[in-house]
Structure 1
């Protein structure tokens, strides 16, 4: 898998694409959606789609694709190779969301939670397939959040498609299993070959699985926290695991607009535009009194 675009800049979001089979542009297709890396505190989250003509579903099933979480890394690699070998009727696309994108989105002033990021990535990939000429008829999605609400959201956005959103869809529908494998292989490769832009002394690349409950991951995060600059962009600093270590090991920071600040001493901007019901305590300038000018208290 070519990750050169991600390696050029792993601070944002990038899209990895296969060639689109001619068969997918001329025949009605099913499209599956799944993700990899939702829970880890390290590394990117990858959203994937896989599409295949409805007439080729039996051939897809013969590849014996399965939920990527039930497979070993070697098994996933072999199945991904088989999917690529079937490029005459199978295509895929991946959206890689960097840890930096995830954390800044979740902690910006107008917060964007992980479910919204996931939904937006899925919608963007479906739209990419449609814009590329894939004759999508059926869409199968592994749910994020309540399945009924997510399904209704996708049906409203894509009224011409038959959308099915289910929990554990990666174990129910082969086309979702295929998307799951593509996403997981891409994330594994991205984590293993991550390019650290920070100059870290004694960098240890043995950071385990990246999940918060992994002792290796916790030990790596303890070692590589900087008291001033925090973490390298490989870490999702919005995760509670990272926040706990930062609170204990890093220099405390207080922002002027902290939500827990002393608000009573700072009047709201809106207060300056409120209608006055009493005469102001401050006497007006003589310019106004000499000209018999008064402030209107009621309009």
Structure 2
């Protein structure tokens, strides 16, 4: 799988797609959606779709596709190759969400949680297929959150399409299994060939599965934590695992504007407003005029 478009700049998200088979533009089609890399603290999350004519479901089933998590890396590569070779009736598309996109979305002022990111990626891929001319009549999705609510949401967004949302859909519907394989192969390639934009020198690629409870992943996180700058963009710094290590091992940095307005107001309220207008006494008890007044050339009435 060629994901060079993402490798060129892995700090941003990227969409990749196969050629749309002509038959998918003229016959009723089914489409499956699944993701890879939702839980890891390292690397991107990849959403994938796979679609084919309803009349070709048995041919897809004959390829022996299965949930990507039950397959070895070599088996996934082989099955993806078969899917790609079936381009006369099978199409696929991917949305690769970079770790940087995930973290900044989850930590920005108007926060966007992982479920929302997942829903948006899936919806965007379905819309991409429709905009590309695929005649969708059936969509099968591995659930994110409550299946009934997600199914209702997608059905309202795409009226006229029969939407089925199920837990473990990747093991129930071959078209979702195919999407799972596409997503997982893309993530495997992205993680294995990751280009570190930061100046880290030669990076140890033995970071395990990327999941927070993996000892190799934990060791890698400790090794590449910069006490001042934190982690390279390969790490989802919004994950609690990364945040806990930064808090415990990183340098404490104080920003002058960290104090919120309410605290500043409380501190300022401790001063009497009358003190700004008090008559000047001796040099030892004269109150320093606040800059609000000096900037506006305002003076105490006693000095006029």
Aligned to 2:17: 17
1:57: which partner in 2?
57
Q: Deviations over 1:67-121 (max 9, x none)?
A: 1011111111111011011110000000000000000000000000000000000
Once superposed, what is the RMSD of the aligned Cα atoms? 1.8
Check if 1:187 corresponds to 2:181: no
- Which residue number corresponds to residue 99 of structure 1? 99
5 Å matches for 1:12-161?
Answer: 12-161=12-161
- Which has the higher mean CA deviation after the structures are superposed, 208-217 or 93-102? 208-217
Match of 1:252, SS state, is: coil
Q: Tell me how far 1:228 sits from its aligned partner.
A: 1.1
If the length of structure 2 is used for normalisation, what is the TM-score? 0.85
Q: How does 1:107-256 map to 2 (within 5 A)?
A: 107-255=107-255
Unmatched runs of 5 consecutive residues or more in structure 1: 268-279, 284-299
TM-score for both structures, normalised by structure 1: 0.87
CA–CA separation in structure 2 for the residues paired with 1:109 and 1:257: 15
Classify the secondary structure of the residue corresponding to 1:35.
strand
The superposition leaves residues 121-148 of structure 1 with CA deviations (integer Å, 9 ceiling, x where unpaired) of 0000000000000000000000000101
How far apart, in 1, do the equivalents of 2:159 and 2:68 lie? 30
The verdict on how the C-alpha distance between 1:218 and 1:154 changes in structure 2, with shifts beyond 3 A counting, is same
SS at match of 1:43: coil
Partners of 2:201 and 2:218 in 1: how far apart? 18
Work out the number of aligned pairs and report it: 270
**What's the counterpart of residue 274 of structure 1?**
none
- Equivalent residue, structure 1, for 2:286: none
User: How much does 1:202 deviate?
Assistant: 4.6
Structure 2 CA distance, aligned partners of 1:264 and 1:100?
A: 32
Are 2:265 and 1:266 equivalent residues in the alignment? Answer: yes
Segments of structure 2 that go 5 or more residues without pairing to the other structure are 267-272, 278-304
Task: Assess, with a 3 A threshold, how the Cα gap between structure 1 residues 219 and 58 changes in structure 2: closer, same or farther.
Answer: same
Output the CA distance in 2 between the equivalents of 1:34 and 1:164: 13
Distance 1:138 1:112 in 2: 28
**Cross-structure match for 1:7:** 7
Deviations 1:229-281 (A, max 9, x none): 110000000001101110111112345665x96834437xxxxxxxxxxxx99
Larger Rg belongs to: 2
Distance 2:45 2:201 in 1: 26
User: What residue in structure 2 maps to residue 276 of structure 1?
Assistant: none
